[in-house]
């Protein structure tokens, strides 16, 4: 759990950065020695993140905070339906290879902030898998569609993601401050684990060990309670009501 989608995205990309440069004996460690030491060691000039022009600005913030630099977030144009353009993504990936730039992650958006468009998640997954690159889906806004019988197919391909951001305080109607970052392999987060002497036991449940935040409110209880009380069918019925009241916005 994180306290917002911004931190969920940053955490996912933090994991992606650690996956790309995993700790190894005799090699510099990105957490300890910093990015420059690691890039020098791998003899590469840049480590980049690829995302569409409509990816939320929290992805740019993450690129800065993770030491990659905001200029290393490379933007992919969108098509007429405001979805990431696949040929442009393929071209950019090839360009990165040619220049020997390392790709930290390819980010697709499931519900852009500007207009709700959903990137072609399955096709982007295929490109990321073909390249062996971490695939992050920012479903902060659109992830709630998974609870809709009618609309969940719009998120086909999300199941291939290595990490997913979901804001329960958006389409799941929870109070502000309730976000999730889901990791295909939770062990990825171990790469950035830090311990302190005051943690008495190896199995002490201190989430601060593998997260950006330390102390935080127990917001998970709200989501747990809502899902317990309404269940899948209650949440589904709610979606049916909402989606029947909505109309797609068409450009004038």
Q: Which is nearer to ligand PLP, 82 or 113 (CB)?
A: 113
The secondary structure of 68-99 as a DSSP string is S-GGGEEEE-B-TTS-B-HHHHHHHHHHHHHH
Q: Which is nearer to ligand PLP, 30 or 168 (CB)?
A: 168
User: C-beta of 110: minimal distance to ligand PLP in Å?
Assistant: 8
User: C-beta of 84: minimal distance to ligand PLP in Å?
Assistant: 13
Q: Which is nearer to ligand PLP, 53 or 113 (CB)?
A: 113
Distance between CA atoms of residues 252 and 249, nearest Å: 9
Q: Which is nearer to ligand PLP, 85 or 138 (CB)?
A: 138
Distance between CA atoms of residues 151 and 153, nearest Å: 5
User: C-beta of 152: minimal distance to ligand PLP in Å?
Assistant: 18
Q: Which residue is nearest to ligand PLP (CB)?
A: 5
User: C-beta of 181: minimal distance to ligand PLP in Å?
Assistant: 11
What residues line the site for ligand PLP (CB under 6 A)?
4-6, 9, 56, 58, 109, 111, 113, 138, 140-141, 167, 179
User: C-beta of 77: minimal distance to ligand PLP in Å?
Assistant: 18
The secondary structure of 47-64 as a DSSP string is EEEEEETTS-HHHHHHHH
Give the residue from 173, 139, 165, 171 showing the smallest Cα distance to 1.
165
Which residue carries 């290595």 as its tokens?
Answer: 162
Distance between CA atoms of residues 229 and 225, nearest Å: 6
Give the residue from 138, 136, 158 showing the smallest Cα distance to 146.
158
User: C-beta of 42: minimal distance to ligand PLP in Å?
Assistant: 30
Q: Which is nearer to ligand PLP, 68 or 191 (CB)?
A: 68
**35, 67 contact by CB (below 8 A):** yes
- Which structure tokens are listed for 14? 């933090």
Q: Which is nearer to ligand PLP, 60 or 85 (CB)?
A: 60
Question: Most distant CA pair in the chain: distance in Å?
Answer: 63
């Amino acid at each position: 759990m994180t306290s917002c989608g911004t931190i969920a995205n940053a955490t996912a990309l933090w994991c992606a950065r650690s996956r790309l440069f995993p700790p190894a004996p005799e090699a510099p460690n990105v957490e300890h020695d910093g990015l420059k030491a690691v890039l020098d060691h791998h003899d590469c000039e840049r480590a980049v993140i690829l995302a569409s022009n409509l990816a939320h600005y929290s992805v740019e913030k993450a690129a800065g905070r993770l030491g990659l630099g905001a200029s290393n977030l490379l933007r992919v144009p969108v098509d007429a339906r405001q979805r990431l353009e696949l040929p442009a993504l393929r071209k950019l990936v090839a360009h990165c290879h040619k220049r020997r730039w390392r790709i930290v992650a390819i980010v697709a958006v499931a519900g852009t902030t500007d207009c709700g468009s959903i990137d072609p998640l399955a096709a982007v997954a295929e490109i990321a898998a073909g390249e062996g690159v971490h695939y992050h889906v920012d479903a902060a806004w659109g992830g709630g569609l998974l609870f809709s019988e009618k609309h969940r197919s719009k998120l086909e391909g999300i199941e291939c993601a290595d990490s997913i951001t979901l804001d329960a305080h958006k389409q799941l109607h929870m109070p502000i401050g309730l976000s999730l970052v889901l990791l295909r392999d939770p062990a990825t987060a171990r790469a950035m684990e830090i311990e302190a002497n005051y943690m008495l036991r190896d199995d002490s449940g201190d989430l601060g060990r593998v997260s950006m935040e330390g102390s935080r409110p127990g917001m998970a209880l709200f989501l747990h309670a809502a899902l317990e009380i309404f269940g899948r069918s209650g949440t589904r019925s709610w979606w049916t009501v909402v989606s029947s009241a909505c109309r797609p916005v068409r450009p004038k």
